[in-house]
Amino acid sequence: MSINVSHSGFQSERFAMRHTSLDKLIELQKNPANIRNLCILAHVDHGKTTLADCLVASNGIISSRQVGKLRYLDSREDEQIRGITMKSSAISLHYQEGGQDYLLNLIDSPGHVDFSSEVSTAVRLCDGAVVVVDAVEGVCPQTQVVLRQAWLENIRPVLVINKVDRLIMELKLTPQEAYTHLQKIMEQVNAVTGTLFTSRVMEEQAEKTKDEKGSGTLPEDQVYDWSAGLDEADDSNLYFSPDQGNLIFASAIDGWGFSIQHFAHIYSERMGINAEVLRKTLWGDFYLNAKAKKIMKGAQFKGKKPLFVQLVLDNIWSLYDAVVIRKDKEKVDKVLSSLGVKVMARDSRHSDPKVLLSAICSQWLPVSQAVLSMVCNKLPSPLQIAAERVEKLMSVGVRRFDTLPESTQALKNAFLQCSSNENAPVIVFVSKMFAVDTKSLPQNRQRPLTQAEIAQRRELTRQRHAERMATEQTAAVGHKNHAGNNQLNIQMGELSKDDMENQVPKESKEEEQSETFIAFARVYSGVMKRGQRIFILGPKYDPAQGLSMLPEQCSASDTFPEVPHLSCCSIENVYLIMGRELEELEQVPSGNVLGIQGLEEFILKSATISTTPACPPFTPLNFEASPIVRVAVEPKHPSEMPKLVRGMRLLNQADPCAEVLIQETGEHVLVTAGEVHLQRCLDDLKDRFAKIEISASKPIIPFRETVVRPPKVDMVNEDLGKQHKVAVIHQVKEDYYHDRSSETLHVDSSGLVTLTTPNKLATVSVRAIPLPQEVTCLLEKSSALIRTLEQVNMSLKEGRNIDVSVRTLEAIADFKAQLERMLQGRKWRNAVENIWAFGPRRCGPNILLNKLEGYQRPSLWQCLCREDKNGAQAPNTREFDNSIVSGFQLATLSGPMCEEPLMGVVFSIERCDIQSLNSPYQNNLEESSTFQEASRANKAEENADALEVNPTEPSQDRRSLETTSAGCYGPVSGQLIAAVKEACRHAFQAQPQRLMAAMYTCEIMATAEVLGRVYGVLGKREGRILQEEMKEGTEIFIIKAVLPVAESFGFADEIRKRTSGLASPQMVFSHWEVISSDPFWVPTTEEEYLHFGEKADSTNQALKYMNAVRRRKGLYVEEKIVEHAEKQRTLSKNK
């Protein structure tokens, strides 16, 4: 292990306890071959921070007695109180093995779902990950998520099966049983990796085949053999296994951990067996034949003890038995001597047997050594970064790596070389910004005085004292009383206080600047220096554009023209991150993780920085959780609003996932990933960023609005015969005639809504149709792809050509094919081809359908058919096209029920006439009198030509469009937007409307005793159990359930309370679900009257939700007041 390096000056003071000096770490930073950047990943509570404690203790930063108690990397107060990690934090450690010095930049990450964005930011900066799995709980939902995250970022994982002590102390398994159990856990983890691997290989094969097809090497009809790729691909390094050296068994809390190698080494010496043979046989179905002194296969079949049980587990079990269970002094001594371990008397006399246990284990099987050795041997160094990973990092969105400018592609080599040469380009990625107290920055820190300084000050004080004594004495001549002495004492007191104050550094005057933002980053190439000028590349920066606009060889210190998404600034400071502290550095060479000060004005959450404008921005981080819980925040005292606004801005910057927005209503809304995250954000806002009292609304629960097919049964489950159905529709229609129908609005019995603009110039007919659920799901899932498609179409429309990667095109084609498969039947004929737009925000789960006869607009899928890529169809696009899309976007953004976004609705535009005043082309489809009247009415006001777009005349003269647009374009397009929006809303209301609720899936682990109570709580909150199974080999049940988000607040707490902390749920947003009850329902049939009474005021959940939202938004709420309660009772009595 590392040795204490003596060092002079103040650094050695600060590092007194530590084994490694700052200078040593700085030296190690220069040798990338011996650097490992790694993060610890796991499900919540599987022991990441405790394991990190063990590793930190190995460097003497904390004492080994504090391991597991201190949780050093959980530096926040709320992390300590709640016992969960909320922010990922880094620390640099030193490890020595085989004569080599290694530098380990370790990042501890949170396991709670609410903070999974912190995991994404950590994973991006690393080359490897230590995945921790609880030996009892095994693979949990977040374990799968983190394995996938590691996989997506191409970083290599190693596995630690932690808490093995629980198998001994809690489950009381025998060593043999424990062996089987551990094997199962290993298999579970490997199964997850296997799935990830197979899907990747298949994807790559598909891409390859496509490329080959493209270049014509494969005949079209050749069927590709999927499994071929699997056979070829090398997966031997992929799986975790003790004999591969990438799996460790540990108990972080008791401080032990081991790899097979360790035991192979011990026993090869003791038993004279080749270490290599032992390494291969210690794990697996092998046993020791004592007579023949041979290792044989088939332990299970022959009923023998496997080697692993005999040589490894038995020893550990007997140690626990002697020390913790029986506390047998004699036996302990025997074990100690057989292990060759000596403990201090004070440890062996300690009343807590765990102290003795830790003392023994930390010598016998130190977990830090096992883990760090595995990390150094199995995880790649920054020099070994894979070319594939580099290309992935460099190609953003739809762009292909090989379409990037040449000088950009050339940067790939800089990544691979990871060089710290003077002329290597600097490339740094900032994955998050974190706030630190400005006072705690090293430059503002009150530093302890060195011995020499202390001596100097002492001398100075003595001198001054002596001087004062002298003056006092002369002054006091003749007044020989004691008062003088007293005076002197007081003065001396003051003096030393004075002196003390001199040591306190000048506090920064600006109270405002109490928080400083530090960028959490990694250098991929070059050297990041203090004071350096660099470019900051926003996520949308395009190197091709940048290079063309900037002069050649332009550097960040030159003056240069403005380029979109590019800015430049100077680095104020660079730091080594040491957990709770930062250490100032002059520079940080390539391959290291670092903290950077001076970027807060330029970077919101993440960014790429470089010295060359050829550098592309890195692909955005993969965030697994989407923020869903929102609250409105306001200051307790309205005058403090500016502070709140500022605080929210800071919070937004300091958290990778929290979103801050100001709604149209002026409310300040905070969107977070879950309840725990919300609480943390509010605490941060109160205590750090705004420093004022705030009040937060109840969580705002999101809903979606949708339409459904008319129900077949009524509310009492009676079949609605034709008769009744008519009645229902009739009622709807009546409503329309009474409330809404007017001169300009017409609703027909099939739900087709026709609306004319107030100036009577344009008429649209719209119908709302519910989408099949699977289609809605697909749209929801594909929103990123739809956005890409939209981008591509936009640029095609503008005449720009962008290179779309094969993979993206394929995904689009696949998406289209899926839609076509799902939308079949007469009703949906040609629907997919005729999709006009998606909405809201152009990528939402609603469709605008073009059913206009004869209106041929460029297909949404035009990027798929290459031949007419250059848009021969473009002229067909009508001027009104945009207005209709905009109207649709507005309509889908907030629905008529409670102004929540729509979901799963198709609006088919079946007619659209836009009237022209002087045009010779009078509308020949619908020459209704309304239009003519309108024309007459408007003639006086509008002299200019009105826009005429006639869907039946696709070949219409383009010139007339251009000339006409000048005078009326504005008003008509504006009115058309409003008209389309209104028409969509009415069309929506003409169908049976429903609310959709956001649903969480939650997985709860509970023991049999508390199972009933868990079900109780779930039932009360309208949860639905999906699955219940028992975790193999344990007494634990895993319950999978879905639960409406609206009912989820306080759920985790309630479960915990009701089960005395024995069950704890993990909730993740899963999907949207239609609430079956109709919020507008009133009884129509006789049975319904009987059952619910005339007013139907028994609980209607959907109505309650809807009214709650309307009330919150200040919309009109139609409250039903119980008027005739008596009458209802009579009715049911009559029955």
Least distance in angstroms from the C-beta of 859 to ligand GTP: 49
Block residue for tokens 């169908």: 991
Residue closer to Mg ion (CB basis): 26 or 123 = 123
Residues in contact with ligand GTP, shown as a per-residue x/- string from 74 to 113 under the rule CB under 6 A: ---------xxx------------------------xxx-
Residue closer to Mg ion (CB basis): 48 or 378 = 48
Among ligand GTP, Mg ion, none, residue 112 binds (CB under 5-8 Å by kind): ligand GTP
Among Mg ion, ligand GTP, none, residue 45 binds (CB under 5-8 Å by kind): ligand GTP
Least distance in angstroms from the C-beta of 122 to Mg ion: 12
Least distance in angstroms from the C-beta of 77 to Mg ion: 15
Least distance in angstroms from the C-beta of 639 to ligand GTP: 39
Q: 145 and 116 in contact (C-beta within 8 Å)?
A: yes
Stretch that binds Mg ion, among 82-90, 252-260, 654-662, 949-957 (CB under 5 A): 82-90
Block residue for tokens 């697909």: 778
The size of the interface with ligand GTP (CB under 6 A), counted in residues, is 23
Among Mg ion, ligand GTP, none, residue 916 binds (CB under 5-8 Å by kind): none
Q: Does 46 bind ligand GTP (CB under 6 A)?
A: yes
Least distance in angstroms from the C-beta of 86 to ligand GTP: 8
Is the CA virtual torsion 264, 266, 269, 270 positive or negative? Answer: negative
Q: How far apart, in whole angstroms, are the C-alpha atoms of residue 1068 and residue 825?
A: 36
Among Mg ion, ligand GTP, none, residue 418 binds (CB under 5-8 Å by kind): none
Binding to ligand GTP (CB under 6 A): which residues in 236-275? Answer: 251-253
Provide the H-helix boundaries in 83-239. Answer: 116-124, 141-152, 165-169, 175-214, 226-232
How many CA atoms does the CB half-sphere of 87 hold within 13 Å? 27
Q: 574 and 592 in contact (C-beta within 8 Å)?
A: no
Instruction: Say which amino acid occupies 595.
Output: G
Among ligand GTP, Mg ion, none, residue 120 binds (CB under 5-8 Å by kind): none
Q: Does 47 bind ligand GTP (CB under 6 A)?
A: yes
Q: Nearest residue to ligand GTP, using CB? A: 111
Binding to ligand GTP (CB under 6 A): which residues in 62-81? Answer: 68, 71
Q: 735 and 992 in contact (C-beta within 8 Å)?
A: no
Residue closer to ligand GTP (CB basis): 71 or 724 = 71
Block residue for tokens 């976007």: 889
Residue closer to ligand GTP (CB basis): 356 or 898 = 356
Q: Are strands 156-162 and 247-251 parallel, antiparallel or unpaired?
A: parallel
The crossing angle, in degrees rounded to 10, of helices 367-378 and 48-57 is 100
Q: Does 117 bind ligand GTP (CB under 6 A)?
A: no
Neighbours of 958 (CB within 10 A): 10
Q: How far apart, in whole angstroms, are the C-alpha atoms of residue 856 and residue 749?
A: 29
Residue closer to ligand GTP (CB basis): 109 or 193 = 109
User: How would DSSP label each residue in 43-64?
Assistant: STTSSHHHHHHHHHHTTTSS-G
Q: Does 948 bind ligand GTP (CB under 6 A)?
A: no
Radius of gyration of the chain (CA): 36
Residue closer to Mg ion (CB basis): 90 or 766 = 90
Sheet of strand 566-570, all strands in order from the earlier edge strand to the far edge: 566-570, 533-537, 607-610, 427-437, 515-525, 593-597, 573-578, 581-585
Q: How far apart, in whole angstroms, are the C-alpha atoms of residue 147 and residue 143?
A: 6
Three-state SS at 574: strand
Least distance in angstroms from the C-beta of 82 to Mg ion: 10
Binding to ligand GTP (CB under 6 A): which residues in 660-719? Answer: none
Q: Does 163 bind ligand GTP (CB under 6 A)?
A: yes
Among ligand GTP, Mg ion, none, residue 616 binds (CB under 5-8 Å by kind): none
Q: Does 279 bind ligand GTP (CB under 6 A)?
A: no
Q: Which of 22, 35, 44, 657 binds ligand GTP (CB under 6 A)?
A: 44
The crossing angle, in degrees rounded to 10, of helices 406-417 and 387-394 is 140
Q: Does 45 bind ligand GTP (CB under 6 A)?
A: yes
Least distance in angstroms from the C-beta of 134 to ligand GTP: 8
Closest listed residue to residue 669, CA positions, set 630, 695, 642: 630
Least distance in angstroms from the C-beta of 899 to ligand GTP: 38
Least distance in angstroms from the C-beta of 821 to ligand GTP: 41
Stretch that binds ligand GTP, among 158-166, 745-753, 948-956, 1081-1089 (CB under 6 A): 158-166
Residue closer to Mg ion (CB basis): 71 or 1091 = 71
DSSP class of residue 506 equals P
Least distance in angstroms from the C-beta of 308 to ligand GTP: 19
Among ligand GTP, Mg ion, none, residue 905 binds (CB under 5-8 Å by kind): none
Q: How far apart, in whole angstroms, are the C-alpha atoms of residue 703 and residue 998?
A: 6
Block residue for tokens 């007191």: 493
Q: How far apart, in whole angstroms, are the C-alpha atoms of residue 64 and residue 367?
A: 12
The residues, ordered by sequence, that sit 6+ positions from 194 with a Cβ below 8 Å of its Cβ are 238, 239
Residue closer to ligand GTP (CB basis): 59 or 923 = 59
Residue closer to Mg ion (CB basis): 146 or 299 = 146
The size of the interface with Mg ion (CB under 5 A), counted in residues, is 3
Among ligand GTP, Mg ion, none, residue 767 binds (CB under 5-8 Å by kind): none
DSSP H or E segment with residue 654 = helix 641-654
Stretch that binds Mg ion, among 32-40, 80-88, 1045-1053, 1070-1078 (CB under 5 A): 80-88
Q: How far apart, in whole angstroms, are the C-alpha atoms of residue 649 and residue 792?
A: 33
| Residues 1105, 1106, 1112, 1116, Cα dihedral to 10° | -150
Q: 3 and 71 in contact (C-beta within 8 Å)?
A: no
Residue closer to Mg ion (CB basis): 79 or 254 = 79
Q: Does 89 bind Mg ion (CB under 5 A)?
A: no
Residue closer to Mg ion (CB basis): 41 or 631 = 41
Residue closer to Mg ion (CB basis): 363 or 1064 = 1064
Least distance in angstroms from the C-beta of 1007 to ligand GTP: 16
Least distance in angstroms from the C-beta of 40 to Mg ion: 8
Least distance in angstroms from the C-beta of 191 to ligand GTP: 22
Could you tell me which residues are beta bridge partners of residue 719? 713
Cβ neighbourhood burial of 434 (10 Å; 0-12, 13-18, 19+): buried
Q: Which of 85, 281, 420, 973 binds Mg ion (CB under 5 A)?
A: 85
Among Mg ion, ligand GTP, none, residue 522 binds (CB under 5-8 Å by kind): none
Closest listed residue to residue 633, CA positions, set 690, 703, 688: 690
Least distance in angstroms from the C-beta of 1031 to Mg ion: 22
Stretch that binds ligand GTP, among 163-171, 649-657, 696-704, 1090-1098 (CB under 6 A): 163-171
Which two three-digit tokens encode residue 1011?
């199972």
Three-state SS at 868: coil
- Element counts in the chain: helices (H) and strands (E): 37, 34
Which two three-digit tokens encode residue 453?
């300084």
Least distance in angstroms from the C-beta of 189 to ligand GTP: 16
Q: How far apart, in whole angstroms, are the C-alpha atoms of residue 936 and residue 923?
A: 15
Q: How far apart, in whole angstroms, are the C-alpha atoms of residue 713 and residue 720?
A: 5
Residues in contact with Mg ion, shown as a per-residue x/- string from 23 to 52 under the rule CB under 5 A: -------------------------xx---
Residue closer to Mg ion (CB basis): 75 or 491 = 75
Closest listed residue to residue 379, CA positions, set 246, 489, 506, 503: 246
Which positions touch Mg ion (CB under 5 A)? 48-49, 85
Which positions touch ligand GTP (CB under 6 A)? 42, 44-50, 68, 71, 83-85, 110-112, 162-163, 165-166, 251-253
